[in-house]
Structures are given as C-alpha cells and as structure tokens.
Amino acid sequence: MTLYLNLAELLGARIEQGLYRPGQRLPSVRALSVEHGVSLSTVQQAYRMLEDSGMVSPRPKSGYFVSEGRHLPALPAVSRPAQRPVDISQWEQVLELVRSTPRQDVMQLGRGMPDINSPTLKPLLRSLAQLSRRQDMPGLYYDNIHGNLALREQIARLTLDSGCRLSPADLVVTTGCHEALSCSIRAVCEPGDIVAVDSPSFHGAMQTLKGLGMKALEIPTDPVTGISLEALELALEQWPIKLIQITPSCNNPLGYIMPEARKKALLSLAQRYDVAILEDDVYGDLAYTYPRPRTLKSFDDDGRVLLCSSFSKTLAPGLRIGWVAPGRYLERVLHMKYISTGSTASQPQLAIADFIKAGHYQPHVRRMRSQYQRSRDLMSDWVTRYFPPGTRVSRPQGGFMLWVELPEHFDTLRLNRALLEQGVQIAVGSIFSASGKFRHCLRMNFAALPTPSIEAAVRKVGETALRLLDQDDACA
C-alpha cells in the first residue's frame, strides 16, 4: 500500500474512534509530514482522500477539520471471551435463521443478503440467459474439479487489487464461500483440533468447525483493530492451535478493517508458531475506501494462508460461486472439494467470468460500496434515534452489516421472538460466539436501499428492545 493510503487509513481510524471530534481541527499538513516522515504532497493526498469520503472538510486558510457529522454512538466493547477451547453450540439459533424462506410479510434484517437490485448487475443476468440459449449448452456439463479456467483467470486478476500475485492454477472454484471455508478447515484440521477465531466470529465458519468436530478458542477482538494479537500470542503459547480462522477485512459482524501493520504482525505470529491461517475475505472488495485493503494472503510467502472468498456479497448469493487460494494446502483442498460437491456448476461460473472480463465488476462494486457506506450512516442514525440509551454500535469500514450492543443482561433471543410476531427478523448475537456469548447483541443488514419501511422495521427493533428493558426493570 502506498504511503498516502496508509496515512489516510490511520487518520480515518482516529476520527472513527473519536480521537478527533466533529468540527475539530486536524493536524496541519506540515505537522503530519514531520510526524510521519513523509512528504507534504503525501499528506495532501491523504487529506484529499478523506475529503472524498466525506470525513474531513477543508476550510480556506485554516486547514482540515473533521466533518460536522452526526452524533456517533459509542463503539461496542472489546470482547472478552473465555480463554479456553470450547465445543461450539448455537446450531438451533443458526438453523432458525437459515431455514427461513424470503417472505413478503417479514423484513429480514438478519441474513447476509447484499442488494441485488442494482442495474449494474443486469449484464450478469443477460449473460446467464445467453448461456442457456447457446447450442453447445456449456452449462450442462460437468466442469473439472479446479473450476472453469476463464473464471479463475478473472479471479486471479481481481486479487491483484488486494496485493496478491496469484495464477489460475493457485485457485479452486467452490460452491460459495461456505464450501471454501469447510474444505479449507478440513484440509488443515482433524476432528478434535483447536481453531482460534476472532470474537464475535461468522456463525457459518463456527458451525463448520462444530460439524467437523473441532473446538473453537475465541480470542478477544477490538471493534476497530480486530483480533488482539497479544491475546492470540498467549493462546498460541498455551494451546496446540492448528488454525487461525479470521475475517480481517470488513469483518463480519463488526465491520472493522484490521490495520495493515497488524495484519503483518498476525502473519509473523502464525509463522513463528507454525500455524495455518484461514482468511475469510468475502466482504473485502466492499471496503468503503479505495483501493481495497490488502489481504493477509498478499504478505504470505510460505503458503500458510488459505484465502477464501466468493461472489455472494459482491454480486449475488444465489449463484453459489466462491473460491479459495489454498497455498500449500492445494492438493488437500482439491480432495475435500471433490468429496464435498464434485465439480462446481458451470453456468454461473461462465456468466461471472463474462461479467468481469467485460469490465462490469469494478463499476458495480464501486456503486455498491458507496451505497452501503451511505446506508451505514443512515442505519447508525436510526439506531441512535430509536434504540435504548447506551446502545453501542459498530462503525463498519466495509460491507453491509451493523453490530449493535444492548445493555449487558438484555436477551436478543427474546427480542427476536417478539419481533417475528411483528414481521421483523434480526440475527441474534449468540450465534457469533462458540460459547453463546453476545446474547445482548444483534446484527442488522443495511444492504437494501433505505426505505420508510426499513426505517420502520429498525424502529420496531429499538422500541421492542426498550419495551422489554422496561418490563425487566418493572420485574426487578
């Protein structure tokens, strides 16, 4: 990453964390140039970038100021999970979430669905339709086990943006990121093995660990900088950890982007203790800053990172096309892929390859990024307005998920049940913990273009939470 991007990231993080408040004057160009040992023009570039993203405003002859923004709610606390490997629970809650069929009468704020109504997706649908009309019917054949070569070429090209140098031969196409994760975990671990995970952590990956008989060791995680390297190192000393499973860029559910220096430090740690890393990058291309953050994989020089991603969040989940760059575990991942689903469906692979090759991917993702960033601000405002005082909210740097932390003894399972009667569904916090922590938290999706009915749904969530809190107070 270039110097100005590094600096912009740092300043942005400080503003997001509240070190500089709205309206406050930021350090001068000269001061920053001295402090960071970079040129004046580098600082100016960084400020211009922050200006473009709306975080800072220049005032003629006075320098740069933090944009007079909305009142930002406090961030969630750093997680403090139990420091021992546990068997994963919470399958019933996850099942409740994933067995639901899209219904007209329920506003589903719980699932990981992107907005698929953007006109920038139309060429993909056209391509799918055209493939069905082709005389040679390419969509009906078995593909080879690696996946379609044209698609792997395009994926290799896309990953340049995250600093990777991958060839098509380094990639295996999978049925969604889910399959990339489960094949990767099985490629590295045996049942009974211990896997370190960020906390909160994506429920799908944790259920995979559960289903394959592994134990999860939840590591304290900061809502701005990600997994605690100090806690992770202690854990690596204490336990025979086989794998670190982590979502460092546009984390699900917290939305943070782990700073680049910490990514490098994480990788060194993994090298020192000779542990593999499963890097889930499924939201990485949806970072609000451009260029997107680098992956751990891009720093990986001995093939220990298995980089997993998909087009489920950037394009559409119904296509079920993901991929993995498994490094030194390639052969084993191929075996696991074969026994999991055989080859991957051809038609969506070909359509996505066409879509990227024709140059439709970047404009689409660019559009979605800024839509999601605007929706994040709006939904944060709604939460500030409608939720109980003291509610803490994540400040996502990418993707379309908001993490909300209610008072400590609040039960979001109960909230969800009360909400379903009112036609609203959220994702309860406990599914993001191996041991059922985060019962007082919830995740909401802000992908869809904001409408009054979405605002009404968020309001219902907040007001129902308030009502339940009042009931508790009355009983206490």
- Considering only residues 80, 126, 165, 417, which one is a binding residue for its own copies as defined by CB under 8 A? 126
By rule CB under 8 A, what string of x and - marks binding of each residue 334-373 to its own copies? xxx-xxxxxxxxxxx-------------------------
- Considering only residues 259, 317, 398, 429, which one is a binding residue for its own copies as defined by CB under 8 A? 317
- Considering only residues 78, 86, 212, 378, which one is a binding residue for its own copies as defined by CB under 8 A? 212
- How many residues contact its own copies, by CB under 8 A? 68
How far apart CA 311 and CA 319 sit, in angstroms, is 8
Question: Measured from the CB of residue 302, what is the shortest distance to its own copies in angstroms?
Answer: 24
How far is CA 253 from each of CA 76, 209, 249, 257, 277, rounded to the nearest angstrom? 12, 18, 11, 12, 19
For residue 190, state whether it binds its own copies (rule: CB under 8 A).
Answer: yes
How far is CA 105 from each of CA 190, 425, 448, 452, 463, rounded to the nearest angstrom? 43, 11, 16, 15, 19
* Residue 365 C-alpha from the chain's centroid: 15
Q: Please, which residue, 246 or 431, has the CB nearer to its own copies?
A: 431
285, 332, 291: which is closest to 313 by C-alpha?
Answer: 285
User: How many residues can be counted in the chain?
Assistant: 476
For residue 132, state whether it binds its own copies (rule: CB under 8 A).
Answer: yes
Residue with tokens 């979605």: 368
- Considering only residues 8, 9, 143, 394, which one is a binding residue for its own copies as defined by CB under 8 A? 143
Q: Please, which residue, 144 or 238, has the CB nearer to its own copies?
A: 144
**C-beta separation of 291 from 432 below 8 A:** no
150, 377, 162: which is closest to 286 by C-alpha?
Answer: 162
By rule CB under 8 A, what string of x and - marks binding of each residue 146-185 to its own copies? x--x------------------------xxx-xx--x---
**C-beta separation of 456 from 462 below 8 A:** no
296, 297, 304: which is closest to 272 by C-alpha?
Answer: 304
Q: Please, which residue, 59 or 133, has the CB nearer to its own copies?
A: 133
For residue 211, state whether it binds its own copies (rule: CB under 8 A).
Answer: yes
Per DSSP, the residues of 134-152 read -TT-GGGSPPPTT--HHHH
- Strands, E, within 260-310: which ranges? 276-280, 305-310
Question: Measured from the CB of residue 226, what is the shortest distance to its own copies in angstroms?
Answer: 24
Question: Measured from the CB of residue 211, what is the shortest distance to its own copies in angstroms?
Answer: 4
Q: Which residues bind its own copies (CB under 8 A)?
A: 91, 94-95, 98-102, 111-113, 116-117, 121, 125-126, 128-130, 132-133, 137-146, 149, 174-176, 178-179, 182, 186, 190-191, 204, 207-208, 210-213, 312, 316-320, 334-336, 338-348
